[in-house]
């Protein structure tokens, strides 16, 4: 009973920290998720260094921390069901030539910059930064970390600034939705290599293949229940949430991250207003608990120790992150026939990494692919590139106004 009360009080405090982060971000005219992520991740290290191990252990005891981890991962799974459903059904015109070329540029060049970063990690970085992960698993992990775009954060930015972005907003959103699917699949391969070499990869692909078949069959079956889903959306949301959690645990038991369970369930849900409402309910509940996931990540770093922070790695990750995404998005858009200004805006928008990147990094860290130093370097890259989105769009708009005078 005491642990339950401790957990409830702690959750209230964590939600307050996340809310404070959103307020600070809005005051600084940044995406609210930036403040939420930053304060949530910093909570553990700040407690440890400000008050010492005894206070840290009293506030965040190990048994309560285990419950927090389960709650955070469950919230993330529920939240990602909605995001994946949006990836699958949320945009029109995904097959257009322009979108395809933007997607190729925004994915291929960042993958190459990931290889450059991997070369530094493998050959030049200190041993404590490199770690002991399998070489190919680490290379794939770093390539994925450079290539993802945060669809939920990008969607929020585009919604807030749609009048200023125009066509660039639509094209960047469509491309980002296409980018993240192969990125997740590459992450599955990296986790498979880390878990058991080529045998782990075959298990990963078999899991995804079987899950894909089940998702297809579920998609066909659920289409018959749209009327009931419209009448009883909350009941269907509860059932869908339970299915997502079971799928996440099942996939995790097979050696992959539970996030792939959410990925498969998100693909399973049919289109239609009724299902949009059901998925929205599930995703909103999950979103409430996502900050807990970040707090656990920060606690893991605090207790594990970062060691010497690889400052060169931080700067290199940021530079390569910006070059890969902004450059790749720009080149792809120009190849697709877009104007210079629209292409620049597309490059800046797909450089938004935010929540999706943090999830990928935490998965890699939990799997032992990323050392604490690499995690922090790539976390800094994710926060900086996302923070730059608004100011760079403002800079481009001011450049247009000055040129028009």
Ordered alpha helix ranges (H), 254-339: 259-268, 273-304, 311-322, 328-335
How is the chain split among helix, strand and coil, in percent rounded to 5? 85, 0, 15
As given in the structure block, the two tokens for residue 311 are: 């400052």
What pLDDT, on a 0 to 100 scale, did the predictor assign at position 308? 61
Phi and psi (nearest 5°) for 30? -115, 160
Give the other-Cβ count within 10 Å of 135's Cβ: 12
Q: How far apart are CA 129 and CA 123, in angstroms?
A: 11
Name the nearest CA neighbour of 80 among 356, 361, 298, 379: 356
Rg (CA), the chain: 21
As given in the structure block, the two tokens for residue 227 are: 């009327």
As given in the structure block, the two tokens for residue 6 are: 């401790």
**Angle formed by the axes of helices 372-404 and 32-59, to 10°?**
160
Q: What is the DSSP letter of 327?
A: I
Sequence-distant (≥ 6) Cβ neighbours of residue 240 within 8 angstroms: 81, 265, 269, 278, 279, 282
For tokens 């045998």, name the residue.
199
Ordered alpha helix ranges (H), 90-166: 97-123, 127-130, 135-147, 151-160, 162-165
What pLDDT, on a 0 to 100 scale, did the predictor assign at position 299? 74
- How many CA within 13 A on the CB side of residue 84? 25
Q: How far apart are CA 21 and CA 251, in angstroms?
A: 32
- Burial class (CB within 10 angstroms; exposed 0-12, middle 13-18, buried 19+) of 174: buried
Phi-psi region of 370 (alpha: psi -120 to 50; beta: other; left: phi over 0): beta
- How many CA within 13 A on the CB side of residue 162? 6
Q: What is the DSSP letter of 337?
A: T
User: Reduced to 3 states, what is the DSSP secondary structure of residue 201?
Assistant: helix
What pLDDT, on a 0 to 100 scale, did the predictor assign at position 190? 87
As given in the structure block, the two tokens for residue 12 are: 């209230």
Phi and psi (nearest 5°) for 91? -135, 150
Task: With beta carbons less than 8 A apart as the criterion, state whether 86 and 275 touch.
Answer: no
Task: With beta carbons less than 8 A apart as the criterion, state whether 204 and 256 touch.
Answer: yes
Q: How far apart are CA 138 and CA 364, in angstroms?
A: 9
Q: How far apart are CA 293 and CA 74, in angstroms?
A: 9
Name the nearest CA neighbour of 32 among 386, 359, 348: 386
| Ordered DSSP codes for 227-262 | HHHHH-HHHHHHHHHHHHHHHHHHHHHTTS-THHHH
User: Reduced to 3 states, what is the DSSP secondary structure of residue 270?
Assistant: coil
Q: How far apart are CA 184 and CA 177, in angstroms?
A: 11
Q: Tell me the mean pLDDT per 10 residues along the chain, length 405.
A: 75 85 81 77 75 74 79 84 67 62 93 95 90 91 90 74 78 81 82 73 77 84 84 89 88 73 83 86 86 77 64 94 95 92 93 83 87 90 88 81 56
Full-model pTM: 0.79
Distances (CA, A) of 94 to 151, 159, 279: 15, 19, 22
């Amino acid at each position: 009973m005491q642990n339950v009360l401790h957990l409830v009080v702690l959750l209230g405090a964590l939600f307050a920290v996340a809310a404070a982060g959103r307020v600070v971000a809005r005051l600084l005219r940044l995406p609210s998720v930036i403040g939420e992520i930053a304060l949530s991740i910093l909570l553990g290290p700040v407690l440890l260094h400000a008050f010492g191990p005894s206070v840290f252990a009293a506030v965040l005891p190990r048994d309560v921390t285990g419950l927090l981890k389960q709650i955070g991962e469950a919230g993330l799974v529920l939240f990602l069901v909605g995001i994946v459903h949006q990836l699958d059904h949320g945009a029109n015109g995904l097959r257009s030539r322009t979108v395809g070329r933007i997607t190729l540029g925004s994915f291929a060049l960042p993958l190459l910059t990931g290889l450059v970063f991997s070369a530094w990690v493998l050959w030049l970085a200190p041993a404590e930064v490199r770690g002991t992960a399998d070489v190919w698993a680490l290379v794939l992990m770093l390539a994925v970390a450079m290539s993802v775009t945060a669809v939920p954060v990008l969607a929020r930015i585009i919604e807030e600034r749609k009048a200023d972005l125009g066509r660039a907003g639509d094209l960047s959103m469509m491309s980002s939705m296409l980018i993240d699917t192969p990125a997740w699949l590459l992450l599955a391969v990296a986790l498979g290599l880390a878990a058991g070499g080529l045998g782990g990869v075959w298990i990963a692909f078999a899991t995804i293949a079987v899950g894909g078949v089940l998702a297809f069959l579920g998609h066909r079956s659920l289409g018959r229940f749209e009327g009931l889903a419209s009448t009883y959306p909350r009941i269907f949301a509860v059932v869908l949430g339970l299915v997502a959690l079971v799928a996440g645990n099942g996939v995790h038991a097979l050696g992959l991250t539970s996030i792939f369970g959410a990925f498969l369930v998100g693909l399973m849900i049919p289109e239609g207003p009724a299902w949009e409402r059901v998925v929205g309910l599930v995703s909103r509940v999950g979103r409430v608990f996502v900050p807990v996931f970040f707090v656990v990540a920060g606690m893991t770093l605090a207790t594990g120790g970062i060691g010497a922070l690889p400052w060169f790695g931080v700067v290199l990750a940021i530079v390569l992150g910006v070059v890969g995404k902004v450059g790749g998005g720009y080149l792809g858009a120009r190849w697709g026939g877009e104007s210079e200004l629209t292409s620049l805006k597309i490059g800046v928008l797909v450089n938004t990494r935010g929540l999706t990147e943090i999830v990928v990094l935490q998965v890699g860290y939990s799997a032992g692919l990323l050392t604490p130093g690499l995690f922090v370097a790539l976390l800094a890259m994710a926060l900086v590139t996302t923070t730059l989105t608004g100011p760079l769009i403002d800079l481009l708009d001011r450049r247009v106004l000055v040129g028009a005078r």
